Amino acid sequence: MTSKHSVLRALKWKDAFGKAKFPQLGNEIPEGPGSKYTNFSLQHIMEKYNFIPSMLVQREFLLPLCLKNPTLVQDAFLTTPRYSYTIETNFSHPSGEKPEPLKESAATVTKGH
């Protein structure tokens, strides 16, 4: 399996973990007189941590692979439109000269000292 395919496979697993709804932890059925714990639920706290499996996939697999060969990871991100984070702009490339206001302020600083 090539590195590009393994990156795409990791991205697929990241999506799967991101879409998965994990079962409720512990005794989190609706509270009532027969429940073990009354008026106590941690589900609102655990919802914050449902991203951890996808974060672990990204940290443990994608980052070391990116350090070894960044072009493969870049190709995988650019071929998948969902993970394309490039921003296209119509700005011109900067020239080697400073703009006029910066030239004037640099001249006044050197005159003052």
**Structure token pair of residue 5:** 């395919």
pLDDT of residue 109: 57
78: left (phi over 0), alpha (psi -120 to 50) or beta: alpha
Euclidean distance between CA atoms 51 and 19, whole angstroms: 10
Quick check: 20 pLDDT over 70? yes
pLDDT of residue 73: 64
Q: What stretches of the chain show up as alpha helix (H) in DSSP?
A: 3-19, 43-46, 52-57, 63-68, 70-79, 100-112
Q: What integer is the mean pLDDT of 42-46? A: 67
Quick check: 67 pLDDT over 70? yes
Quick check: 9 pLDDT over 80? yes
Specify the 3-state DSSP secondary structure of 91. Answer: coil
The fraction of the chain above a pLDDT of 90, given in percent, is 0
Confidence of residue 75 (pLDDT cuts 50, 70, 90): low
pLDDT of residue 17: 78
Higher pLDDT, 36 or 9: 9
